[in-house]
């Protein structure tokens, strides 16, 4: 049984990665329905939290059906990190996660996210301060290093464990790589194999199929897998991986009726949670994957990614379901 603190996650948990403007409550609900064992919020700026910024506070919204869930924060200033940890605790998530992996320039330039990989001593001090500021179990998500010359993830894992973290998710790329090239899981495996490491180690990067998930589980020995981009517009990735690991058989992809039902629920929840304008706009990144592989879908997708009227969007979904009802994807 894999556990983060007292939070039991099953024998080989699948985690939803924290993704800005993606892993919000509407999307998390769908992933949970499809078998995701633990999810993380979008990453939240500690500066936004301590200044009561509306967007940051909204990201603390947690619904009963989502649990267990982790709230992820990012920042680089100790007092702000400590205060944010106390604010997060009031939202009562199961876990508090620290983001040391985001490669985006506007985050990195403030020494937050993956920027802190340039100063491991500071990373350790900030982590220790957060651990001491909260009763929640603290986890960390990070990368292999800043660049190919600073891949000190084994040392980082030991030091973070020593100051009290209770789980570590590692993306198999450096900050310099961003999301390019292939994720290198060999160093993730070395962390897991380190006899000093006793906290769960989760691998992240490039898992986009049940076959790959099973292969990487067996090859690299991680305690679980964190899935990010492959889940966008395709929450079924979680159930497909679980079924394949349990039976060795591939599930058929969801048919058009299930896809349209998921999009309807996702869009409805998005509008309800964010308001009509933002809810409609932030759904757009999902549509391509929801209907990937359907011949002749392009004109309908063009409507979905440009139309602002929810009524027109729902009518378009009806048309898609009717037109593609007989189309079976391989």
* Cα–Cα distance for residue pair 118/276, rounded to 1 Å: 41
Cα angle 296, 299, 300 (rounded to 5 degrees) comes to: 95
* Cα–Cα distance for residue pair 265/12, rounded to 1 Å: 28
Q: What is the rounded (10 degree) CA torsion for 175, 178, 182, 187?
A: 20
* Residue 109 annotated to the active site: no
Active-site residue identified among 31, 36, 102, 109: 102
Radius of gyration of the chain (CA): 20
* Cα–Cα distance for residue pair 199/196, rounded to 1 Å: 9
Q: Map tokens 């011949």 to a residue.
A: 295
In order of 48, 237, 259, the CA distances from 267 in angstroms are: 27, 19, 12
Kindly list the catalytic residues: 102
């Amino acid at each position: 049984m894999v556990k983060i603190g007292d939070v039991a996650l099953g024998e080989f948990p699948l985690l939803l990665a924290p993704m800005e403007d993606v892993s919000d409550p509407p999307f998390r609900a769908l992933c949970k329905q499809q078998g995701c064992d633990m999810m993380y919020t979008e990453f939240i700026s500690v500066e936004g939290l301590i200044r009561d910024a509306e967007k940051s506070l909204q990201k603390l919204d947690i619904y009963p059906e989502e649990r267990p869930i982790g709230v992820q924060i990012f920042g680089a200033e100790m007092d702000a990190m400590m205060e944010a940890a106390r604010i997060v605790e009031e939202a009562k998530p199961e876990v508090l996660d620290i983001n040391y992996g985001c490669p985006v320039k506007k985050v990195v330039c403030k020494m937050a996210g993956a920027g802190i990989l340039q100063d491991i001593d500071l990373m350790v001090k900030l982590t220790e301060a957060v651990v001491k500021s909260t009763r929640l179990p603290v986890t960390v998500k990070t990368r292999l290093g800043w660049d190919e010359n600073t891949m000190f993830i084994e040392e980082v894992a030991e030091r973070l464990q020593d100051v009290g973290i209770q789980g570590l998710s590692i993306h198999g790329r450096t900050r310099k790589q961003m999301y390019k090239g292939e994720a290198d899981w060999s160093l993730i495996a070395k962390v897991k194999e380190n006899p000093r490491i006793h906290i769960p180690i989760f691998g992240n990067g490039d898992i986009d199929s049940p076959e790959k998930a099973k292969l990487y589980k067996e090859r690299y020995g991680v305690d679980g897998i964190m899935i990010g981009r492959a889940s966008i517009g395709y929450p079924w990735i979680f159930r497909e991986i679980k079924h394949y690991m349990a039976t060795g058989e591939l599930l058929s992809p969801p048919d058009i009726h299930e896809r349209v039902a998921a999009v309807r629920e996702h869009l409805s929840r998005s509008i309800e949670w964010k308001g009509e304008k933002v809810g409609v706009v932030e759904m757009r990144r999902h549509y391509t994957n929801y209907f990937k592989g359907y011949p002749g879908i392009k004109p309908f997708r063009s409507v979905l990614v440009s139309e602002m009227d929810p009524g027109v969007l729902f009518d378009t979904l009806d048309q898609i379901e009717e037109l593609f009802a007989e189309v079976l994807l391989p």
